[in-house]
Amino acid sequence: MRYLLLTKRSLFIALLLALSAILVTAGVSRQYRTQSAANTSERKIPIYCVETDEKKVAITFDAAWGAEDTDELLEILAAYQAKATVFVVGDWVRQNPDAVKAFAEAGHSIANHSDTHTTYSKLSYEEIKADIQRCNAEIEKCIGKAPTLVRVPSGDYTNDAINAAESLSMQTIQWSVDSLDWQGVSVEEMVERVTGAVENGSILLFHNDVKNTPEALRQILQILSERGYQFVTVDELIYTEDFRIDATGKQHKNAA
């Protein structure tokens, strides 16, 4: 009889311990989910594109190497009355100041693409901020005007990167249509890829000093012009106040 009582008691204690473990696990799980949801909601997003009824898109170039096609790109852009935004690396500015000035003097916007194309996710907030400032200083020294936009290297965004840019009164810019020119795709592939994805408010990504980019750009601008698109700088496309950015990176103007 005593053995039976002990067994029942042991079973009862075991059940209590198991129930407690389940409750604790559930609590931890709920806490983890809550924390994860909070972290997700706090994740900052750069501007990928803009919500607009106007047929406007922004042509952008990332400039980190070479400058041999500068004159050709300028000629193509001028032929279609297109204004572009050139995101320059500080090292590129130091090596190619005449190219930077040529783009600026033709009415194109010069923006920040880091100082040495370092991966920002490997840097601290202070290191990122200092890197942005160094590139800003190079641009201002070259053309007499500091940029207001920054695109981080390789699109590798973190909250620290966005917070650092915002602390300098700068907006962070990604892209919604990638030409993949840097991968060496053919002119035909590039044209089909870009023109098939463009919509109002798109931000298009190209690179300078890439073999097939000039000819593809010429064809893309021709096709999009025929569709009624205007080519504006990112500064002209985006909203600078009273806006929100949704989970996809699309910037919206807040309702009045």
Among the listed residues 53, 62, 113, 209, the single catalytic one is 62
The radius of gyration of the chain's CA atoms, rounded to the nearest angstrom, is: 26
Instruction: Say whether 113 is catalytic.
Output: no
Distance of CA 97 to the CA centre of its chain: 25
- Give the 3-state secondary structure percentages of the chain, helix then strand then coil, rounded to 5: 50, 15, 30
Instruction: Say whether 71 is catalytic.
Output: no
Helix (H) or strand (E) holding 232: strand 230-232
Among the listed residues 108, 113, 117, 207, the single catalytic one is 207
- 253 in helix, strand or coil? strand
A 10 A CB-CB count for 104 gives 17
CA atoms of 100 and 128, how far apart (whole Å): 23
Are the CB atoms for 135 and 17 separated by under 8 Å? Answer: no
Looking at the DSSP bridge assignments, the partners of residue 29 are none
Active site residues: 62, 207
